[in-house]
């Protein structure tokens, strides 16, 4: 189990693309053909990467769409592990032979 929070995809985009390339959120949003507010919500971690956005990010920034979705899945699973109490759940006992 991961002991640290994986980065939200928006944080990854900001640190890997926006800052090093001195690119604004508004400029990247234009390249992605989405509103600046849509991308801003992702950058701030308020929204996640959808399959459609993964396709757009893949085309504009590179990486596969699956890798963008994987970043989101890793973050979402970590966040769920912080909230969900599994202590009262037990494996189903079956008699299948």
Cα-based distances in Å from 89 to 22, 46, 83, 84, 96: 48, 30, 15, 11, 21
Q: How big is the chain by its Cα radius of gyration, in Å?
A: 17
Which pLDDT belongs to residue 1? 53
The pTM of the full predicted model, rounded to 2 decimals, is: 0.85
More confident residue, 5 or 31: 31
Q: What is the DSSP letter of 39?
A: H
Summarize pLDDT for 35-85 with one digit per residue, the tens.
Answer: 999 999 999 999 999 999 999 999 999 999 999 999 999 999 999 999 999
């Amino acid at each position: 189990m991961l002991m640290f929070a994986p980065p939200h995809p928006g944080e990854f985009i900001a640190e890997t693309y926006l800052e090093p390339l001195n690119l604004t959120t508004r400029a990247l949003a234009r390249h992605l053909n989405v509103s600046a507010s849509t991308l801003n919500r992702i950058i701030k971690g308020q929204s996640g990467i959808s399959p459609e956005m993964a396709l757009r990010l893949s085309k504009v920034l590179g990486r596969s769409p699956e890798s963008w979705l994987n970043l989101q899945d890793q973050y979402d699973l970590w966040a769920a592990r912080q909230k969900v109490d599994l202590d009262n759940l037990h494996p189903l006992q079956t008699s299948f032979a």
